């Protein structure tokens, strides 16, 4: 096999076998005459980008193999197939940290949740207190990173080059944030609540590289919906998803969903720490859209991403384009949809790249902040290439646009998704 001529012959035979079996070779055999052909951009904005980022699989404790973006802080993306169900399995749920010194184990005999700052009665609560003194509540809600799908941005922007897998849906069970705050008695003059988890970074005290902290406005109605979750899909939270408790902020991007939540502080001044004042800010424009030129000219006023909810999105999970479909053989086109603005009321599928649309069937409703599965039965009658597309509408009438969005943070992507597929003849 070390004769290069023999090897090339073997390769082309192997690819011939694959093609006969109906699989699409991803890359053509590289004979010398084709060697200078450009490869497609792996993650660019063309009709059919790779669904996930192009990254290696890695295995972490309590996790199935996930796609590694970075290891310090840990960023792991969920592969596409795990979105076939409305609830994302805990062991496949994506992971994102900013800082390095994360907890590997937590001793519940000494761990306490602290409620402090501008309150009548500061509280120090054990896990036992949370489990026994407050009524449990559950909410199905999508946890989506602000930078989900950032790799689609053109021009490219700095930050983790996520595909579509920086999201997941779970049934979160715990106690209402407001039940705890009622007991603590938040005093007048409070403007924000600050949340901090257990991990640290190696940077100097007082810097973003030392501590990750996020704050929500005290008058934000989402506080009524917030849950301090000790369960995820009926199990304790995986360590990498925030054991022992995390904040769940239904409808908002996950940057506020503090993991290993240990301090809640009532603030009398707006939080000006790095993660509020500098990071996670969006242009104060429709869709958070702007241009590189306006950013360079210093024209862009920004607001925290928590000022908006997650825009409506939908995804094609199957078919994924990795094998041919067959004329006359029905296929179920399916995926998930959600909106931070409420219930998904309609999902439409296109078989012609977005020219015409047909209504898809919606799966079970698990509440306004959950993934909702959808499906569409298709029996192709003609061989050829097809571009499938999907778009969702929510109860507020928001519908996914076909225009891309651009901002320097790489946030708020919600353009209509497409999937190229090939249909072959049955004989």
Ligand X SMILES: Nc1nc2c(c(=O)[nH]1)N[C@H]1C(S)=C(S)[C@@H](COP(=O)(O)O)O[C@H]1N2
Q: For binding to ligand X (CB under 6 A), which residues are involved?
A: 93-98, 143, 145, 197, 199, 212, 241-242, 254-255, 257-260
According to the binding rule CB under 5 A, does residue 279 interact with Mo ion?
no
Residue 306 Cβ, how far from Mo ion at the closest point, in Å? 12
Q: Quick one: 55 or 255, whose CB is closer to Mo ion?
A: 255
Q: Quick one: 371 or 411, whose CB is closer to Mo ion?
A: 411
Residue number, nearest CB to ligand X = 197
Quick note: the x/- pattern for Mo ion over 81-100, rule CB under 5 A, is ---------------x----
Number of residues located near Mo ion, criterion CB under 5 A: 4
Residue 66 Cβ, how far from ligand X at the closest point, in Å? 10
Residue number, nearest CB to Mo ion = 145
Provide the token pair at 384: 């050829």
Phi, psi of 131 (to 5 degrees): -75, -25
Residue 422 Cβ, how far from ligand X at the closest point, in Å? 34
DSSP states along 338-352: E-TTS-EEEEEEESS
Angstrom CA distances, 192 to 117, 187, 282, 310, stand at 11, 11, 19, 21
Residue 151 Cβ, how far from ligand X at the closest point, in Å? 15
Q: Quick one: 51 or 376, whose CB is closer to ligand X?
A: 51
Residue 194 Cβ, how far from ligand X at the closest point, in Å? 13
> Cβ(178)–Cβ(224) under 8 Å?
yes
Q: Quick one: 94 or 338, whose CB is closer to ligand X?
A: 94
Please choose, from the candidates 57, 64, 412, 50, the residue with its C-alpha nearest in 3D space to the C-alpha of residue 255: 412
3-state secondary structure of 127: helix
Report the C-alpha gap between 423 and 381 in whole angstroms.
9
Provide the token pair at 381: 């009658």
Tell me 145's DSSP state.
Answer: -
Q: Quick one: 14 or 59, whose CB is closer to ligand X?
A: 59
Residue 148 Cβ, how far from ligand X at the closest point, in Å? 8
Beta-carbon contacts of 128 under 8 Å, excluding residues fewer than 6 positions away, are none
- The residues with which 154 forms a beta bridge, in sequence order, are none
According to the binding rule CB under 5 A, does residue 145 interact with Mo ion?
yes
Burial class from Cβ neighbours inside 10 Å (0-12, 13-18, 19+) for residue 215 reads buried
Angstrom CA distances, 5 to 32, 34, 104, 149, 197, stand at 12, 16, 52, 42, 59
Among ligand X, Mo ion, none, what does residue 151 contact (CB within 5–8 Å per kind)? none
What residues numbered 253-272 form the site for Mo ion, per CB under 5 A?
255
Contact residues: Mo ion, CB under 5 A:
96, 145-146, 255
């Amino acid at each position: 096999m070390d004769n290069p001529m023999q090897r090339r012959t073997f390769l082309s035979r192997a690819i011939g076998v694959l093609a006969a079996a109906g699989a699409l070779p991803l890359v053509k055999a590289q004979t010398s005459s084709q060697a200078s052909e450009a490869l497609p951009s792996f993650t660019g904005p063309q009709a059919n980008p790779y669904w996930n980022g192009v990254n290696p699989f890695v295995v972490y404790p309590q996790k199935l193999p996930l796609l590694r973006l970075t290891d310090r802080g840990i960023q792991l993306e969920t592969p596409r197939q795990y979105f076939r169900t409305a609830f994302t399995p805990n062991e496949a749920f994506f992971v994102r940290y900013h800082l390095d010194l994360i907890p590997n184990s937590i001793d519940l005999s000494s761990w306490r949740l602290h409620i402090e700052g501008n309150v009548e009665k500061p509280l120090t609560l054990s896990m036992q207190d949370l489990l026994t003194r407050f009524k449990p509540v559950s909410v199905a809600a999508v946890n989506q990173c602000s930078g989900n799908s950032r790799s689609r941005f053109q021009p490219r922007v700095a930050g983790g080059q996520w595909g579509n897998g920086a999201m997941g849906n779970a049934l979160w069970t715990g106690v209402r944030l407001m039940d705890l705050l009622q007991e603590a008695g938040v005093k007048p003059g409070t403007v924000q609540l600050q949340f901090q988890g257990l991990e640290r970074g190696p940077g100097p005290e007082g810097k973003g590289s030392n501590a990750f902290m996020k704050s929500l406005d005290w008058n934000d109605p989402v506080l009524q919906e917030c849950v301090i979750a000790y369960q995820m899909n009926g199990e304790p939270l995986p360590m990498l998803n925030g054991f022992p408790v995390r904040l769940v902020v239904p409808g908002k991007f996950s940057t506020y969903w503090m993991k290993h939540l240990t301090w809640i502080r009532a603030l009398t001044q707006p939080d000006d720490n790095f993660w509020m004042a500098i990071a996670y800010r969006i242009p104060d424009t429709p869709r958070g859209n702007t241009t590189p030129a306006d950013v360079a000219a210093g024209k862009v006023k920004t607001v925290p991403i928590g000022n908006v909810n997650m825009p409506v999105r939908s995804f094609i999970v199957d078919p994924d384009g990795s094998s041919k479909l067959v004329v006359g053989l029905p296929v179920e086109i399916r995926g998930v949809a959600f909106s931070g603005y409420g219930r998904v009321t309609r999902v439409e599928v296109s078989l012609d790249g977005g020219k015409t649309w047909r209504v898809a069937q919606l799966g079970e409703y698990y509440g306004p902040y959950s993934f909702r599965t959808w499906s569409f039965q298709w029996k192709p009658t003609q061989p050829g290439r097809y571009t499938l597309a999907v778009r969702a509408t929510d109860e507020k009438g928001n519908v996914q646009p076909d225009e891309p969005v651009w901002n320097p943070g790489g946030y708020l992507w919600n353009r209509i998704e497409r999937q190229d597929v090939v249909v072959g003849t049955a004989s």
